Structure 1
Protein backbone atom coordinates (compact mmCIF):
# COMPACT_ATOMS: atom_id res chain seq x y z
CA UNK A 1 0.00 0.00 0.00
CA UNK A 2 2.85 2.37 0.82
CA UNK A 3 4.42 1.66 -2.59
CA UNK A 4 1.21 2.64 -4.35
CA UNK A 5 0.87 5.84 -2.35
CA UNK A 6 4.47 6.82 -2.96
CA UNK A 7 4.17 6.05 -6.67
CA UNK A 8 1.04 8.19 -6.91
CA UNK A 9 2.83 11.04 -5.16
CA UNK A 10 5.77 10.77 -7.57
CA UNK A 11 3.52 10.76 -10.63
CA UNK A 12 1.53 13.72 -9.36
CA UNK A 13 4.76 15.55 -8.57
CA UNK A 14 6.10 14.94 -12.07
CA UNK A 15 2.84 16.10 -13.61
CA UNK A 16 2.80 19.30 -11.55
CA UNK A 17 6.49 19.99 -12.26
CA UNK A 18 6.12 19.54 -16.02
CA UNK A 19 5.37 22.74 -17.99
CA UNK A 20 1.94 22.60 -19.60
CA UNK A 21 3.33 22.64 -23.16
CA UNK A 22 5.27 19.44 -22.45
CA UNK A 23 2.35 17.41 -21.04
CA UNK A 24 1.39 16.07 -24.44
CA UNK A 25 5.01 15.18 -25.20
CA UNK A 26 5.21 13.23 -21.95
CA UNK A 27 2.10 11.34 -23.07
CA UNK A 28 3.76 10.58 -26.41
CA UNK A 29 6.74 9.08 -24.58
CA UNK A 30 4.68 7.07 -22.09
CA UNK A 31 2.54 5.48 -24.82
CA UNK A 32 5.71 3.70 -25.99
CA UNK A 33 7.45 3.39 -22.61
CA UNK A 34 4.68 1.30 -21.02
CA UNK A 35 4.64 -1.48 -23.66
CA UNK A 36 8.46 -1.43 -23.77
CA UNK A 37 8.54 -1.82 -19.98
CA UNK A 38 6.24 -4.82 -20.33
CA UNK A 39 8.45 -6.30 -23.05
CA UNK A 40 11.59 -5.71 -21.00
CA UNK A 41 9.96 -7.44 -18.04
CA UNK A 42 9.27 -10.56 -20.10
CA UNK A 43 12.96 -10.80 -21.02
CA UNK A 44 14.28 -9.92 -17.57
CA UNK A 45 11.97 -12.41 -15.88
CA UNK A 46 12.60 -15.07 -18.54
CA UNK A 47 8.89 -15.27 -19.31
CA UNK A 48 8.57 -16.47 -22.94
CA UNK A 49 4.88 -17.32 -22.47
CA UNK A 50 4.27 -13.77 -21.28
CA UNK A 51 6.31 -12.32 -24.16
CA UNK A 52 4.23 -14.24 -26.70
CA UNK A 53 1.03 -13.08 -25.03
CA UNK A 54 2.26 -9.47 -24.94
CA UNK A 55 3.17 -9.42 -28.63
CA UNK A 56 -0.17 -10.97 -29.56
CA UNK A 57 -2.23 -8.68 -27.35
CA UNK A 58 -0.35 -5.55 -28.42
CA UNK A 59 -0.67 -6.37 -32.14
CA UNK A 60 -4.36 -7.21 -31.73
CA UNK A 61 -5.04 -4.01 -29.79
CA UNK A 62 -3.31 -1.73 -32.27
CA UNK A 63 -4.67 -3.62 -35.27
CA UNK A 64 -8.23 -3.30 -34.00
CA UNK A 65 -7.60 0.35 -33.11
CA UNK A 66 -6.54 1.21 -36.65
CA UNK A 67 -9.37 -0.78 -38.23
CA UNK A 68 -11.78 1.25 -36.09
CA UNK A 69 -10.01 4.53 -36.95
CA UNK A 70 -10.50 3.95 -40.68
CA UNK A 71 -14.02 2.58 -40.24
CA UNK A 72 -15.37 5.33 -37.96
CA UNK A 73 -13.36 8.18 -39.57
CA UNK A 74 -14.13 10.69 -36.79
CA UNK A 75 -12.59 14.18 -36.96
CA UNK A 76 -10.22 15.22 -34.17
CA UNK A 77 -11.28 17.99 -31.78
CA UNK A 78 -8.60 20.34 -33.18
CA UNK A 79 -9.70 19.58 -36.76
CA UNK A 80 -6.17 18.46 -37.73
CA UNK A 81 -7.16 15.07 -39.09
CA UNK A 82 -9.81 12.46 -39.19
CA UNK A 83 -9.41 9.08 -37.57
CA UNK A 84 -9.77 10.23 -33.98
CA UNK A 85 -11.71 7.20 -32.71
CA UNK A 86 -10.30 5.34 -30.81
CA UNK A 87 -7.10 6.84 -29.40
CA UNK A 88 -4.18 4.65 -30.50
CA UNK A 89 -1.86 6.41 -28.02
CA UNK A 90 -4.19 5.41 -25.20
CA UNK A 91 -4.66 1.90 -26.59
CA UNK A 92 -0.89 1.44 -26.74
CA UNK A 93 -0.33 2.71 -23.19
CA UNK A 94 -3.21 0.69 -21.74
CA UNK A 95 -2.05 -2.39 -23.60
CA UNK A 96 1.28 -2.24 -21.76
CA UNK A 97 -0.37 -1.39 -18.44
CA UNK A 98 -3.06 -4.05 -18.76
CA UNK A 99 -0.46 -6.67 -19.60
CA UNK A 100 1.67 -5.76 -16.58
CA UNK A 101 -1.32 -5.88 -14.25
CA UNK A 102 -2.82 -9.07 -15.67
CA UNK A 103 0.47 -10.95 -15.88
CA UNK A 104 2.35 -9.70 -12.81
CA UNK A 105 -0.23 -8.19 -10.46
CA UNK A 106 -1.46 -4.90 -9.07
CA UNK A 107 1.82 -3.84 -7.44
CA UNK A 108 3.17 -2.97 -10.86
CA UNK A 109 -0.22 -2.70 -12.56
CA UNK A 110 -1.50 0.24 -10.55
CA UNK A 111 1.42 2.59 -11.34
CA UNK A 112 1.28 1.43 -14.96
CA UNK A 113 -2.44 2.23 -15.13
CA UNK A 114 -1.73 5.67 -13.65
CA UNK A 115 0.82 6.28 -16.40
CA UNK A 116 -1.61 5.06 -19.06
CA UNK A 117 -4.32 7.31 -17.65
CA UNK A 118 -1.89 10.22 -17.95
CA UNK A 119 -1.45 9.36 -21.64
CA UNK A 120 -5.21 9.44 -22.18
CA UNK A 121 -5.52 12.72 -20.31
CA UNK A 122 -2.69 14.25 -22.36
CA UNK A 123 -4.52 13.37 -25.59
CA UNK A 124 -7.68 15.12 -24.41
CA UNK A 125 -5.67 18.05 -23.02
CA UNK A 126 -3.83 18.43 -26.34
CA UNK A 127 -7.19 18.40 -28.19
CA UNK A 128 -6.19 15.37 -30.24
CA UNK A 129 -9.03 13.22 -28.88
CA UNK A 130 -12.41 13.37 -27.26
CA UNK A 131 -12.91 11.65 -23.91
CA UNK A 132 -14.88 8.90 -25.69
CA UNK A 133 -11.88 8.23 -27.98
CA UNK A 134 -9.64 7.76 -24.96
CA UNK A 135 -12.14 5.58 -23.09
CA UNK A 136 -12.58 3.40 -26.18
CA UNK A 137 -8.80 2.95 -26.59
CA UNK A 138 -8.42 2.03 -22.92
CA UNK A 139 -11.37 -0.39 -22.99
CA UNK A 140 -10.12 -2.03 -26.16
CA UNK A 141 -6.65 -2.62 -24.70
CA UNK A 142 -8.01 -3.88 -21.39
CA UNK A 143 -10.45 -6.26 -23.10
CA UNK A 144 -7.85 -7.71 -25.46
CA UNK A 145 -5.40 -8.26 -22.59
CA UNK A 146 -8.07 -9.84 -20.40
CA UNK A 147 -8.86 -12.19 -23.27
CA UNK A 148 -5.34 -13.04 -24.51
CA UNK A 149 -3.00 -12.74 -21.51
CA UNK A 150 -2.96 -15.59 -19.00
CA UNK A 151 -2.39 -14.64 -15.37
CA UNK A 152 0.91 -15.58 -13.81
CA UNK A 153 1.79 -16.35 -10.22
CA UNK A 154 5.09 -14.51 -10.72
CA UNK A 155 5.54 -11.42 -8.63
CA UNK A 156 9.23 -10.92 -9.31
CA UNK A 157 9.38 -7.16 -9.73
CA UNK A 158 7.99 -3.93 -8.36
CA UNK A 159 8.15 -0.21 -8.99
CA UNK A 160 10.42 1.34 -6.38
CA UNK A 161 10.28 5.07 -5.60
CA UNK A 162 13.57 6.94 -5.83
CA UNK A 163 14.55 10.56 -5.49
CA UNK A 164 13.52 12.26 -8.71
CA UNK A 165 11.51 9.34 -10.09
CA UNK A 166 11.08 5.60 -9.84
CA UNK A 167 12.88 2.44 -10.89
CA UNK A 168 11.93 -1.15 -11.57
CA UNK A 169 13.36 -3.62 -9.10
CA UNK A 170 13.72 -7.24 -10.19
CA UNK A 171 13.94 -10.28 -7.95
CA UNK A 172 15.99 -13.17 -9.34
CA UNK A 173 16.08 -16.72 -7.99
CA UNK A 174 19.12 -18.91 -8.58
Structure 2
Protein backbone atom coordinates (compact mmCIF):
# COMPACT_ATOMS: atom_id res chain seq x y z
CA UNK A 1 0.00 0.00 0.00
CA UNK A 2 1.09 3.49 -0.76
CA UNK A 3 1.22 6.24 1.85
CA UNK A 4 -1.07 9.23 1.63
CA UNK A 5 0.51 12.28 -0.03
CA UNK A 6 1.01 14.38 3.14
CA UNK A 7 0.42 11.81 5.88
CA UNK A 8 2.12 8.70 7.20
CA UNK A 9 -1.04 6.58 7.11
CA UNK A 10 -1.45 3.73 4.64
CA UNK A 11 -5.25 3.96 4.40
CA UNK A 12 -5.62 6.13 1.32
CA UNK A 13 -7.05 3.59 -1.12
CA UNK A 14 -9.88 3.99 -2.06
CA UNK A 15 -11.07 7.44 -1.04
CA UNK A 16 -14.08 7.01 1.24
CA UNK A 17 -15.20 10.63 0.88
CA UNK A 18 -15.14 10.30 -2.90
CA UNK A 19 -17.02 6.99 -2.81
CA UNK A 20 -19.72 8.48 -0.59
CA UNK A 21 -20.27 11.56 -2.72
CA UNK A 22 -20.35 9.53 -5.95
CA UNK A 23 -22.96 7.18 -4.45
CA UNK A 24 -25.14 10.24 -3.92
CA UNK A 25 -24.41 11.63 -7.39
CA UNK A 26 -25.30 8.37 -9.10
CA UNK A 27 -28.51 8.01 -7.09
CA UNK A 28 -29.52 11.56 -8.04
CA UNK A 29 -28.78 10.77 -11.69
CA UNK A 30 -30.80 7.54 -11.55
CA UNK A 31 -33.75 9.15 -9.78
CA UNK A 32 -33.92 12.57 -11.44
CA UNK A 33 -31.62 12.40 -14.49
CA UNK A 34 -30.79 15.42 -16.67
CA UNK A 35 -29.50 18.58 -15.09
CA UNK A 36 -29.88 17.33 -11.54
CA UNK A 37 -27.55 14.42 -12.29
CA UNK A 38 -25.06 16.72 -14.02
CA UNK A 39 -25.08 19.05 -11.02
CA UNK A 40 -24.60 16.18 -8.59
CA UNK A 41 -21.68 14.82 -10.62
CA UNK A 42 -20.13 18.29 -10.77
CA UNK A 43 -20.22 18.52 -6.98
CA UNK A 44 -18.84 14.97 -6.64
CA UNK A 45 -16.00 15.75 -9.03
CA UNK A 46 -15.24 18.90 -7.02
CA UNK A 47 -15.00 16.85 -3.83
CA UNK A 48 -12.66 14.37 -5.53
CA UNK A 49 -10.49 17.21 -6.83
CA UNK A 50 -10.32 18.83 -3.39
CA UNK A 51 -9.22 15.52 -1.81
CA UNK A 52 -6.24 15.55 -4.18
CA UNK A 53 -5.64 19.31 -3.98
CA UNK A 54 -5.50 19.23 -0.17
CA UNK A 55 -3.00 16.37 -0.23
CA UNK A 56 -5.29 13.72 1.22
CA UNK A 57 -5.32 11.29 -1.73
CA UNK A 58 -3.60 10.38 -4.97
CA UNK A 59 -5.43 10.36 -8.31
CA UNK A 60 -5.87 6.57 -8.30
CA UNK A 61 -7.43 6.79 -4.81
CA UNK A 62 -10.21 9.12 -5.94
CA UNK A 63 -10.78 7.29 -9.24
CA UNK A 64 -11.18 4.02 -7.34
CA UNK A 65 -13.43 5.75 -4.80
CA UNK A 66 -15.62 7.11 -7.59
CA UNK A 67 -15.83 3.65 -9.15
CA UNK A 68 -16.75 2.03 -5.84
CA UNK A 69 -19.39 4.70 -5.24
CA UNK A 70 -21.01 4.42 -8.67
CA UNK A 71 -20.95 0.61 -8.55
CA UNK A 72 -22.43 0.59 -5.03
CA UNK A 73 -25.27 2.89 -6.10
CA UNK A 74 -26.05 0.74 -9.12
CA UNK A 75 -25.97 -2.50 -7.10
CA UNK A 76 -28.24 -0.92 -4.49
CA UNK A 77 -30.68 0.34 -7.11
CA UNK A 78 -30.66 -3.03 -8.91
CA UNK A 79 -31.23 -4.97 -5.68
CA UNK A 80 -34.09 -2.65 -4.71
CA UNK A 81 -35.81 -3.21 -8.07
CA UNK A 82 -35.24 -6.96 -7.82
CA UNK A 83 -36.65 -7.03 -4.29
CA UNK A 84 -39.71 -5.06 -5.40
CA UNK A 85 -40.25 -7.34 -8.38
CA UNK A 86 -40.12 -10.46 -6.22
CA UNK A 87 -42.02 -9.31 -3.13
CA UNK A 88 -44.13 -6.35 -4.25
CA UNK A 89 -47.78 -6.44 -3.29
CA UNK A 90 -50.05 -4.90 -5.88
CA UNK A 91 -51.96 -2.65 -3.48
CA UNK A 92 -49.03 -1.48 -1.32
CA UNK A 93 -45.55 -0.27 -2.21
CA UNK A 94 -42.61 -2.07 -0.60
CA UNK A 95 -40.35 0.21 1.46
CA UNK A 96 -37.45 -2.21 2.02
CA UNK A 97 -33.97 -1.30 0.72
CA UNK A 98 -30.87 -3.51 0.58
CA UNK A 99 -27.45 -2.00 -0.28
CA UNK A 100 -23.69 -2.68 -0.02
CA UNK A 101 -21.52 -0.97 2.62
CA UNK A 102 -17.76 -0.35 2.48
CA UNK A 103 -15.91 1.46 5.28
CA UNK A 104 -12.18 0.72 4.88
CA UNK A 105 -11.05 2.83 7.84
CA UNK A 106 -9.49 1.22 10.95
CA UNK A 107 -9.38 -2.37 9.82
CA UNK A 108 -12.35 -2.18 7.50
CA UNK A 109 -16.02 -2.99 7.62
CA UNK A 110 -17.57 -4.48 4.50
CA UNK A 111 -20.95 -6.02 3.98
CA UNK A 112 -24.58 -5.23 3.29
CA UNK A 113 -27.16 -3.14 5.06
CA UNK A 114 -30.92 -3.18 4.95
CA UNK A 115 -33.44 -0.46 5.75
CA UNK A 116 -37.21 -0.44 6.10
CA UNK A 117 -39.52 2.59 6.12
CA UNK A 118 -42.49 2.31 8.49
Q: Does the alignment reach a TM-score above 0.5?
A: yes
The residue number in structure 1 matching 2:7 is 79
The residue number in structure 2 matching 1:131 is 59
Q: Distance in 1 between matches of 2:11 and 2:2?
A: 5
Residues 63-142 of structure 1: pairs in structure 2 closer than 5 A: 73-142=1-70
Hey, which of these two has a bigger chunk of helix by percent? 1
Q: Distance in 1 between matches of 2:38 and 2:76?
A: 20
- Cα displacement (A) at 1:107: 2.2
Q: Distance in 1 between matches of 2:12 and 2:5?
A: 8
Q: Distance in 2 between matches of 1:79 and 1:107?
A: 37
Structure 2 unaligned residues grouped into runs of 5+: 82-118
Q: Distance in 2 between matches of 1:111 and 1:101?
A: 9
- Cα displacement (A) at 1:79: 2.4
- Cα displacement (A) at 1:96: 0.7
Runs of 4+ with deviation above 4 angstroms: none
1:91–1:137 contact (8 Å) kept in structure 2: yes
- Cα displacement (A) at 1:80: 3.9
Hey, which of these two has a bigger chunk of strand by percent? 2
TM norm structure 2: 0.62
Structure 1 unaligned residues grouped into runs of 5+: 1-72, 153-174
1:78–1:127 contact (8 Å) kept in structure 2: yes
TM norm structure 1: 0.43
Q: In the TM superposition, what whole-angstrom CA distance separates every residue of 1:55-99 from its partner, at most 9, and x where no partner exists?
A: xxxxxxxxxxxxxxxxxx531011242200000110111111111
